[in-house]
């Protein structure tokens, strides 16, 4: 099972390497257990005479503030990805629904587009992504195939304004979705991929129903829609609202699918409900403080960085930076193994 963790805090990282049984243990109990194990380790004094047994000695460490605890952990780098989760900017449905929840049933909100304030939010996040250096790190942008998420994705992570005559198609044409915005270039930015699995709750609310892919392609020429099987929206039903449990399972399926991608730094532009229920499942094993941080609702155009950890060998990548060491054959007995053998030999005499 893949796990998702926030990158800004490390106090929960021990959970990454824990089995289901040890996850239930408290950090205090784990530290006590580690201390107990340390007290039973033995050392063999130099110059032990033949026939004399080594007396177990406690392992002493200098008081340097480096005592072991259960708050940190290690994990192989090639079994980790960094994902940047973004909720779309403010849409017209957000404004109408805040005034009156029944407005979500309005056909006027079908495939809701961004508001002018939403586009200002996009501009703000774009500036942050560029100034922070994140724009140069992201290798792939995945977006839900709805108008508001695609507008947010290309506005934040796309190239500069599009210029006619260039060889690359635009990510978004001028005034797409009645935005009044200039076209966005696909040059000097990562590829964009539309994926239905990260859509919002399905059904009932017209704002969560997408247009046909045939309608989207002319608006977003450089977005890759090849993973979407049906031209029309066959997932949205007018009378059945998708259950929270279904959204959660869909989110887990999506996270597992990310391991089939070779990219290590991926931005995902999705929706409040999808992100909330998905992260709520993955944060259950975290410390309460981290659970609250990971699982809270996203604000419009909020970005959160997470570390995705492959705990069950879903990923097929091999380590890129590891080096086997000591390639020529020869004796290479680790010192702790040598100490163990010396103790065994001493106890035989």
Catalytic residues: 88, 200
Contact 192, 171 (CB under 8 A): yes
The per-residue b/e assignment along 146-164, b for 16 or more CB within 10 angstroms, e otherwise, is: bbbbbbbbbbbbbbeebee
The per-residue b/e assignment along 90-112, b for 16 or more CB within 10 angstroms, e otherwise, is: bbbbbebbeeeeebbebeebbbb
Distance of CA 293 to CAs 42, 201, 306, Å?
43, 22, 11
**Distance (Å, rounded) from C-alpha 121 to C-alpha 248?**
27
The two tokens of residue 69 are: 């605890």
- What's phi and psi for 81, nearest 5 deg? -130, 155
Contact 83, 308 (CB under 8 A): yes
The two tokens of residue 137 are: 């790190």
What residues contact residue 322 under an 8 Å CB cut-off, 6+ apart?
78
| DSSP secondary structure letter of residue 342 | H
Positive or negative: CA dihedral 9, 11, 14, 20? negative
Instruction: Give the orientation angle of helix 288-295 with respect to helix 272-282, to 10 degrees.
Output: 160
Helices (H), 174-301: 213-219, 244-257, 272-282, 288-295
The two tokens of residue 266 are: 């991926």
Q: For residue 340, give the H/E element and its range.
A: helix 335-348
């Amino acid at each position: 099972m893949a796990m998702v963790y926030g990158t800004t805090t490390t106090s929960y990282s021990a959970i990454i390497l824990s089995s289901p049984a040890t996850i239930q243990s408290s950090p205090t109990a784990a530290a006590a257990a580690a201390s107990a194990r340390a007290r039973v380790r033995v050392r063999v004094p130099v110059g032990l005479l033949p026939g004399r047994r080594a007396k177990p000695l406690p392992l002493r460490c200098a008081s340097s503030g480096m005592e072991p605890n259960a708050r940190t952990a290690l994990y192989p780098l090639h079994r980790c990805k960094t994902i940047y989760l973004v909720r779309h900017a403010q849409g017209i449905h957000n404004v109408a629904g805040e005034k009156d929840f029944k407005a979500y049933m309005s056909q006027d909100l079908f495939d809701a587009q961004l508001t002018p304030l939403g586009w200002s939010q996009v501009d703000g996040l774009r500036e942050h992504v560029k100034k922070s250096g994140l724009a140069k790190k992201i290798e792939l942008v995945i977006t839900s195939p709805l108008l508001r998420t695609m507008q947010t994705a290309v506005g934040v992570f796309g190239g500069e304004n599009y210029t006619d005559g260039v060889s690359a198609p635009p990510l978004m044409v001028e005034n797409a979705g009645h935005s009044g915005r200039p076209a966005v270039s696909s040059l000097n930015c990562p590829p964009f991929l539309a994926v239905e699995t990260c859509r919002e709750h399905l059904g009932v609310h017209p704002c969560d129903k997408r247009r046909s892919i045939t309608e989207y392609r002319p608006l977003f020429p450089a977005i890759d829609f090849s993973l979407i099987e049906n031209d029309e929206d066959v997932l949205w039903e007018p009378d059945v609202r998708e259950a929270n449990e279904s959204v959660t399972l869909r989110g887990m399926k999506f996270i597992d699918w990310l391991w089939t991608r070779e990219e290590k730094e991926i931005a995902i532009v999705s929706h409040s409900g999808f992100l909330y229920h998905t992260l709520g499942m993955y944060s259950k094993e975290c410390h309460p403080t981290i659970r609250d941080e990971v699982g809270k609702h996203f604000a419009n155009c909020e970005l959160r960085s997470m570390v995705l950890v492959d705990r069950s060998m879903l990923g097929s990548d091999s380590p890129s930076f590891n080096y086997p060491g000591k390639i020529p054959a020869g004796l290479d007995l680790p010192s702790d193994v040598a100490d163990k053998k010396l103790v065994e030999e001493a106890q035989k005499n």
